[in-house]
Amino acid sequence: MRLLVSVVSAEEARRALAGGADIIDVKDPGEGALGAPAPRVLSEVVRAVGAAAPVSVALGDLPGLPHTAALAAHGAALSGARYVKVGLRGVRELDGAVEVMRAVTDALGTETAAIAAAYADADALDPPALPPACLPELVHRAGISGALVDTFLKDGRGLYSWLSESELGELIARTRNQGASFGVAGQLTRGQLRRVAADVVGVRSAVCRGGDRAGELDIELVAAAAAELHGRNQPGSIRVPTGWVGPGLRTTTVTPVRRTASGK
């Protein structure tokens, strides 16, 4: 499992790296659950992180407009993002989601992977969004690298208020059977990071002071989240995958250190 930490600035990215984040994710919480950051912020984070960790970016809680999503993805790839997360807010049917994700994939180069994001609370939204149960088939039909379940509503009801461990476990298994990875996020709290065996676990509020996703990211909270997520590894070493990808791919053993943007 890899720890994805969402940041809003280059300075927060440096703190997240020092705390032990495996993936640096860039977003703007003020623009929504998967709010897109300003292009300048993404570029600054990519420069600050360098080769120390892969950078992902949220493209927004998008409408069902394939070309809009594709253009956003293309710009993010040119800015150096390794992964683009596409919030499928304006799509209800699987066919529409496939069209959006295929357009995104076509807009990306070989160095950037597309991640489809559905919302655990999709049926509670008005209008409803794509059900998370569609993600494994979406991954298969669109030929994308992975899927993510998040929550759209940020009202204190986290991921496990909407989906059970067994439901998430089935989604993870079905997605991996398609050769892709699966991530979980959505106001996860301490003690919940290992409840399911996802490939990627994303946090924002859990590593911000006061549990406020709009608050300041705290390096010690990142370190605590990293320790929890990797807690079952042998002391002194962590086995992590070399990319945000599915099972069966290479892993590497590393000694946990307080990393910096220089990679040292």
Under 8 Å between Cβ of 146 and 160: no
Neighbouring C-alpha atoms within 13 Å toward the C-beta of 68: 11
- For the question of residue 154 being annotated catalytic, the response is no
In this prediction, residue 234 has a pLDDT band, given cuts at 50, 70 and 90, of very low
Catalytic residue among 2, 14, 15, 27: 27
- CA–CA distance, 226 with 183 (Å, rounded to integer): 15
**Model confidence at 132: pLDDT above 80:** yes
Q: What average pLDDT does range 231-256 have in this prediction?
A: 38
For residue 109, pLDDT over 90 is answered with no
Contact, 178 vs 151, CB < 8 A? no
Classified as helix, coil or strand, 254 is strand
Given this model, what pLDDT does residue 128 score?
97
Give the whole-angstrom CA distance, residue 34 versus residue 11.
20
The mean pLDDT value of the chain amounts to: 89
User: The domain 2-254: what is its CATH number?
Assistant: 3.20.20.380
Minimum mean pLDDT range among 41-45, 124-128, 178-182, 234-238: 234-238
Higher-pLDDT residue of 257 and 102 is 102
**pLDDT class of 231 with cuts at 50, 70, 90:** confident
- Kindly state the average pLDDT of the residues 44-73: 98
Q: Identify the active-site residue in 2, 15, 82, 85.
A: 85
Least confident of 67-81, 207-221, 225-239: 225-239
Cα separation of 245 and 222, whole Å? 22
